[in-house]
Structure 1
Amino acid sequence: MEEETEIELPPKLIPVFDTHDEDEVALDGARYRGAYGGRGSAKTRTFALMSAVRAYVLAEAGQSGVVLCGREYMNSLEDSSMEEVKQAIRSVDWLDAYFDIGEKYIRTKNRLVWYTFAGLRHNLDSIKSKARILLAWVDEAENVSEIAWQKLLPTVREEGSEVWVTWNPELDGSPTDQRFRKNAPEGAKIVELNYTDNPWFPDVLDQERLNDRETLDDQTYAWIWDGAYRENSDAQILAGKYRVAEFDPGKDWDGPYFGIDWGFSQDPTAAVKLWVFDRRLWVECEAGKVGLENDDIAKFLIDRIPGIEKHTARADSARPETINHVRSDGDGKRNNLPFVEPVEKWSGSVEDGIAHLRSYQEIVIHPRCTEFLKEARLYSYKVDRLTGDVLTKIVDAHNHYIDASRYALQPMIGGNNYRQRFAAMAS
């Protein structure tokens, strides 16, 4: 059976379907598994395939019951995941030989495990009566209501039963988003999966993606391809201030400006290269890595951000020992950034920095700066849990590259701040 158990998955989904026994296809017993993200990520195909693997394992173990494939709306089998499951099974010879596939049914040939397909909006009562649901996979789950989840989950109650969820996020705070992303159950194996994580992403879809990049606004593009929310919160700090475009800096542009935010245990060391021109901020390059040792910082950044070793690079002053280390070449034993300077911080410096970023007519982000772009979409003010009101306090998350940008531009930000302080003192 060793040859039979070879299944190709997108690498990012391997931990989701991991097993502690290398000789088995059996899963590890997690109650919840899932993936969310944009188009072309192979989410649906992979979960369809692994549902068949799960059915195979259960049938081989002598268990009898149902693999329930649900969607919020399903008026007929044409609206279901049936064809996805059939194609997935037929793509693997040993699975194809193990299942009996008809026009309106899929079951193991020993008839112990079979598939059923249902819409959650109008078929919840009939779902509750399904005997022995061993696995419930809900695809296109973004629009599943909280009531549907409350009714569905208790029906999946067999020993060792599982719930799988795949969806394309749309609304920040949807019931599915709240349950399985923001407040994922303990032990759940749920990951973000986008086209960049799909090793089989086809050229025809890539051409469509590139066309969307040129013709759609960033928010719509990000929703389709990058798994971002379609309806963003009013709390987003840079909402409406940025776009994505390729560019080459001109000779008359101001800059370059370099900024570095030092990493900690779980945070990346992040650096950026910026320009200013035509009342716009241009984000040309970025580099970042979690767990970057001090000895390796200079070489890592020099290799990825052209010119950073030849210009002033402004960095977080909270780590003076790191600044001193990166400045030094270790008696010629390592690369160094000789012109790194610590930035000044003051009460309200973060808010002043944000105001400066928003003062540009727009922030233009080069497509290669994917982490900066992600932060531009996610960097937010806090929202009152009870009222939903947007507060003035900033969430300290999704801000490493944005912090590096504030540091890079600090002379301009600080200059304004100094003038304000001097004016207050003189009055």
Structure 2
Amino acid sequence: MRATIEEIPKITRNFARPARTRVFKGGRGSGKTRGLALRSALRVYQLAERGVEGVFLASREHLNSLDESSMEEIKAAIGSVPWLASYFDIGEKYVRTKNRRISYAFAGLRHNLDSIKSKARIIGNWTDEAESVSEVAWRKLVNTLREEGDGWIAENWISYNPESPESATHKRFVKSPAEDCIVTTVNWQDNPWFPSLLNAARLEDQRLRPETYEHVWEGEFLTLTDAQVFSGRYVVEEFEPEASWDGPYQGLDFGFAQDPTAAVRCYIHDRRLWIRHEAGSVRLELDGTAPHVKARISDFDRYVIRADSARPESISYLKRHGLPLIQAAEKWPGSVEDGVAFIKAFDKVVIHPDCEQTAREFRLYSHKVDKRSGDILPEIVDAHNHYIDATRYALAPMVRRRDAPMALFGTYAAQGRR
């Protein structure tokens, strides 16, 4: 059978040459995620037709549930091509060929890879959002992808938006790539189907948020500057809270279409703020909020939750549907700046590696920069702040207005404990 598939030309050119590793890096709107979802379905089809049996791995560094995986992208890509849709059996929690030769496995490289490897033959991998994958995880994965057959090898595909030249992903696959690795940069201007709505968002970022525009849209590294609010104020490290720590403190920020609904759980100890858990999703319906968050943060409903007071109707609904201890966080003119100042006053903010989106926001959250003079302005850009807002709400009882005489530390335990 011969068939024509439309795809981004740069993706086509990458796959025109043989390689064991294929890297696609770039900014938002490039279409690389949807393009590789479709390519994975084509790869699975081709191998299944050759009689190959096994699993094609769709992975991330951390994967707590299928909602956080690439499953929906893969389902959508398959559904967009009628003859692929008829070749696959797609269920609520699985995707496989109808001949049962190959199925997708959705896994976190950090915790799930060993169990999959022990059960099935891995015939290929695609890791999306790969910037934060650790070297330990890459070593484990690369050593796993050794399957090959007549005219095929198990390929490793990687897609991500670069943030740091020091990331394990950049060092391994771009700075010092193997000979059989092809690296392709794909950005919004390379996507023939770049939507006008997304272009409007791009132009707004270019005008209002120049300090992060190149990173978000052009795939450049995130340059650390004095404009970044939490530069040098946080670290990403593993830890587990102890019973003697103050907390937990829990916050929830509402979102929907473009912005995620975001929840966090954090603690205070030794003059440090410790952020241990996060949960969230874009387009999360209100009636799905409590189940979504409780599935990712255990006992979330047993402790006080402080949420955006601008949504009293949502707080009222959640109080009656799964989060009985939710309440509105107090706001006042300047409460954002006061909350940020409170967080910055800790000796350090420690973010657990499981909280990827929180760590990302702490990297991106920035002051406005005058586009003519380059001066850093006191106003904070209203972007990359949903998990940060949830953190501010969680700590709201301890935050004081700038003109309040109360000391920052010394009273928070009594005010913040349930």
- What TM-score do the two structures reach when normalised by structure 1? 0.51
1:199 counterpart = 2:185: no
Q: Which residue of 2 aligns with 1:25?
A: 5
- Structure 2 gap ranges (5+): 37-58, 62-69, 71-123, 140-162, 172-218, 407-418
Runs of 4+ off more than 6 Å: 191-195
Is it true that 1:362 corresponds to 2:288 in the alignment?
no
Do residues 269 (structure 1) and 261 (structure 2) align?
Answer: yes
List aligned pairs for 1:13-412, cutoff 5 A. 23-27=3-7, 48-50=13-15, 52=16, 85-87=17-19, 181=27, 189=31, 199-200=125-126, 208-209=135-136, 221-222=166-167, 224=169, 229=221, 231-329=223-321, 336-412=322-398
**Cα drift, residue 382 of structure 1:** 1.0
The structural deviation recorded for 1:291 is 1.6
In the alignment, the residues of structure 1 paired with residue 220 and residue 239 of structure 2 have an alpha-carbon distance, to the nearest angstrom, of 24
Measured in 1, the distance between the counterparts of 2:125 and 2:137 equals 17
| AA in 2 matched with 1:357 | I
- Distance in 1 (alpha carbons) for counterparts of 2:138 and 2:240: 20
Identity of aligned residues (%): 40
Distance in 1 between the 2:372 and 2:25 partners?
27
**SS of structure 2 residue aligned to 1:388:** coil
Task: Measure how far apart 1:267 and its partner are.
Answer: 1.2
In 2, distance between residues paired with 1:206 and 1:409? 30
Displacement after TM superposition at 1:251 (Å): 1.3
Aligned residues: 249
Q: Distance in 2 between matches of 1:360 and 1:219?
A: 25
Q: Deviations over 1:143-199 (max 9, x none)?
A: xxxxxxxxxxxxxxxxxxxxxxx657xxxxxxxxxxxx58x8xxx646699975893
Larger Rg: 1
Q: What SS class does the counterpart of residue 240 from structure 1 fall into?
A: coil
Structure 2 counterpart of 1:340, one-letter code = I
State the AA in 2 paired with 1:398: H
Q: Aligned partners of 2:324 and 2:277: how far apart in 1?
A: 20
CA distance in 2, matches of 1:296, 1:390: 40
Write the distance in 1 (CA, Å) between the matches of 2:247 and 2:170: 32
User: How many Å apart are 1:210 and its aligned residue?
Assistant: 5.5
Partners of 1:242 and 1:222 in 2: CA distance: 17
Q: Given residue 25 of structure 1, which amino acid in structure 2 is its aligned partner?
A: I
Asked whether the equivalents of residues 265 and 275 of structure 2 are also in contact (C-alpha less than 8 Å), the reply is yes
Q: CA deviation at 1:390?
A: 1.4
Amino acid of the structure 1 residue aligned with 2:223: E
TM-score by length of 2: 0.52
How far apart are 1:264 and its partner, in Å? 3.4
Segments of 5+ residues of structure 1 without an aligned counterpart are 3-22, 35-45, 53-84, 92-138, 141-165, 169-180, 213-217, 330-335, 421-427
1:365-402: CA deviation from partner (whole Å, max 9, x where unpaired)? 11110000110111111111122221111111100000
Q: CA deviation at 1:292?
A: 1.5
How far apart, in 2, do the equivalents of 1:207 and 1:301 lie? Answer: 26
Rate the CA distance shift 1:289–1:86 in 2: closer, same or farther, 3 A.
Answer: closer
Distance in 2, Cα, partners of 1:221 & 1:400 = 26
